Amino acid sequence: KNHNYWESRGVPFEKPVFFVGNFYKILAGKQHISYRMREIYNSFNTPYIGIYIFHQPNLVIKSPDLVKKILVKDFDKFINRRVATNEAVDPIATHTLFSAQDQVWKNLRAKISPVFTSGKMKLMFPLMKECGSDLVEYLDKRNGEVVEVRNMTKKFAVDIISSCAFGINAYCLKEESSEIMKVTTKLMDLKSFVRTFSIFSYFFAPMFVDIFRLTFVDKTSSNYLVKIFNTTIKERQKQNIVRHDLIDLLNNLKQKETFNDSYKFDDIKMAAQAVAFFSAGNDTTSLAISFVLYELALHPEIQTRLRKEITDIFQKYGDFTYEAINEMKYLDMVLNETLRMYPLTSFLNRKSATKYTFEETGFTLDEDVSIIVPVAGLHFDPEYFPDPEKFDPERFSDANKHKIVPYTYLPFGDGPRNCIGQRFGILASKVALAFSLKDFVFEKAAVTSVPLQFEARSLFMTNKSGLQLKAVRI
């Protein structure tokens, strides 16, 4: 019955498949969502396109001007994501920054933001460097071998988030088998049908979350992280330890709360942020590093140029300091181009808080309609990024970057609800790349799959069956 929603409102739409709508291939595990986004984006030349996910109408926004309105100018009318929030079923997911709604989100975002200032990044930098050295040690043990880079970068990401956010030495790179590594891998693992179904239902079919009582992340893993989090807080209080990390910040906020505070932390709300940092920061950061190394292995000339920059700046400072890493312009260009070609989250999501009229067309959107910004479509549009399949860091050089049309490059989203961990994710990725590329050359091996195949079931752009590259010490 709902499948005539867009037609009856005069909105250009993609014809849905009975019952399942327009995400049939994704649900069947035949296509990654990133490719679906690109197909929908390319099949219409209109500012927006109507689609259905099951019975639910979604509006895919193609025009960068409209993207700006939704993410920034009229943010208050699109403040929330359209994700399931069922506190009784999943209190942890409901209280994460990612899922929180309206004023609760505003209060929480304001409270958490101080963790991610440049000043805080600088304070965390020595901890990040320790993880960089561990990465070199890890590679040294495998010198000349084909390394499973996905596994290596996951270990690095868990180590760095555990250390910088929670003051926990996870030792994933140092030790073959680490409990926290197993737990965080399971957290968003989509190998089982139930996990895939749960995560997709949170975004696209919230009714199933209520019916089947589904949780956003794996429950045993989140319970484990909550336990570590609570133990660490108690330990800190007992021993009066100060580390300026997330745990300290949350703890201070809780201590300073007054009766009149509109948002009060309890144990669940505090622990939810810990789980969110792992679920939002771990796969994203580790995939970003992996894809850079992969592209560098396929483009040795770019790898050589980047290594020269890293070595020159290292020699200038005599060390990898915070300032040294930030001076590496070519590293920044290479990372930016990688995130263009591999937008880890292929789409952004919002919902309309009220009825909203698009001035450009006069069309009035109903309240509570899901909005999709097809990041993968924008990043591969030849009008904005000529020859989009070519890996070309020059797009982000000082001479060229001003040519990028605003709101066509969105690896971290935009507006007040953009990625809060952007600074952290970028710095952590740069530390991993500077440390490993200074001492090692990464080469394509016979087993390296070119082009990469993506895991259809994954929400992030995750490649299938790992990523093998040969690592050779210089």
Binding residues are: 419
Residue 404 CB partners (closer than 8 Å, separation 6+): 384, 385, 395, 396
For 357, the 3-state DSSP assignment is strand
In angstroms, give the least distance from the CB of 415 to ligand HEM: 6
Does 412 bind ligand HEM (CB under 6 A)? Our answer is: yes
Q: Minimal CA–CA distance to 384: which of 402, 408, 400, 413?
A: 408
Binding-site residue numbers for heme are 419
In angstroms, give the least distance from the CB of 278 to ligand HEM: 8
For the segment 344-373, give every residue that binds ligand HEM (CB under 6 A). Answer: 344-345, 348
Q: Which of 202, 425, 427, 469 binds ligand HEM (CB under 6 A)?
A: 425
Does 12 bind ligand HEM (CB under 6 A)? Our answer is: no
DSSP 183-241: HHHHHT---SHHHHHHHHHHHH-HHHHHHHT--SS-HHHHHHHHHHHHHHHHHHHHHT-
Binding range to ligand HEM, per CB under 6 A, among 120-128, 146-154, 276-284, 387-395: 276-284
Q: Which of 292, 365, 419, 461 binds ligand HEM (CB under 6 A)?
A: 419
Does 378 bind ligand HEM (CB under 6 A)? Our answer is: no
Q: Do the beta carbons of residue 344 and residue 461 sit within 8 Å?
A: yes
Using the minimum distance from each CB to ligand HEM, give the nearer residue, 228 or 288.
288
Q: Which of 247, 411, 440, 456 binds ligand HEM (CB under 6 A)?
A: 411
Using the minimum distance from each CB to ligand HEM, give the nearer residue, 147 or 276.
276
In angstroms, give the least distance from the CB of 435 to ligand HEM: 17
Q: Which two tokens stand for residue 331?
A: 């590293």
CA-CA-CA-CA torsion sign (474, 435, 284, 304): negative
According to DSSP, residue 468 is labeled E
Does 277 bind ligand HEM (CB under 6 A)? Our answer is: yes
Q: How many chain residues interact with ligand HEM (CB under 6 A)? A: 25
Q: Which of 138, 222, 421, 442 binds ligand HEM (CB under 6 A)?
A: 421
- Residue 340 φ/ψ region, left for φ over 0, alpha for ψ in the -120 to 50 degree band, beta for the rest: alpha
In angstroms, give the least distance from the CB of 164 to ligand HEM: 8
Q: Alpha-carbon distance 274 to 228, whole Å?
A: 10
In angstroms, give the least distance from the CB of 211 to ligand HEM: 26
Binding range to ligand HEM, per CB under 6 A, among 33-41, 62-70, 202-210, 278-286: 278-286
Q: Which two tokens stand for residue 316?
A: 């200038």
Q: Minimal CA–CA distance to 149: which of 168, 173, 169, 133?
A: 173
Using the minimum distance from each CB to ligand HEM, give the nearer residue, 27 or 461.
461
Does 98 bind ligand HEM (CB under 6 A)? Our answer is: yes
Using the minimum distance from each CB to ligand HEM, give the nearer residue, 408 or 418.
418
Strand 48-53 to 146-148 pairing: unpaired
End-to-end CA distance of the chain: 64
Q: Minimal CA–CA distance to 419: which of 86, 81, 93?
A: 81
Binding range to ligand HEM, per CB under 6 A, among 86-94, 120-128, 405-413, 444-452: 405-413
In angstroms, give the least distance from the CB of 92 to ligand HEM: 13
Using the minimum distance from each CB to ligand HEM, give the nearer residue, 13 or 200.
200
Using the minimum distance from each CB to ligand HEM, give the nearer residue, 152 or 348.
348
In angstroms, give the least distance from the CB of 67 to ligand HEM: 10
In angstroms, give the least distance from the CB of 446 to ligand HEM: 29
In angstroms, give the least distance from the CB of 474 to ligand HEM: 26
Residue 156: in which H helix or E strand, if any? helix 149-166
According to DSSP, residue 394 is labeled G
- Residue 71 φ/ψ region, left for φ over 0, alpha for ψ in the -120 to 50 degree band, beta for the rest: alpha
Using the minimum distance from each CB to ligand HEM, give the nearer residue, 173 or 420.
420
Does 285 bind ligand HEM (CB under 6 A)? Our answer is: yes
Q: Alpha-carbon distance 99 to 12, whole Å?
A: 30
Does 203 bind ligand HEM (CB under 6 A)? Our answer is: no
Q: Minimal CA–CA distance to 154: which of 188, 128, 185, 133?
A: 185
Using the minimum distance from each CB to ligand HEM, give the nearer residue, 16 or 247.
247
Q: Alpha-carbon distance 363 to 374, whole Å?
A: 20
In angstroms, give the least distance from the CB of 279 to ligand HEM: 9
Q: Which two tokens stand for residue 467?
A: 């990523």
Residue sitting closest to ligand HEM (CB): 413
Q: Which residues bind ligand HEM (CB under 6 A)?
A: 97-98, 109, 276-277, 280-281, 284-285, 288, 344-345, 348, 411-414, 417-421, 424-425, 429
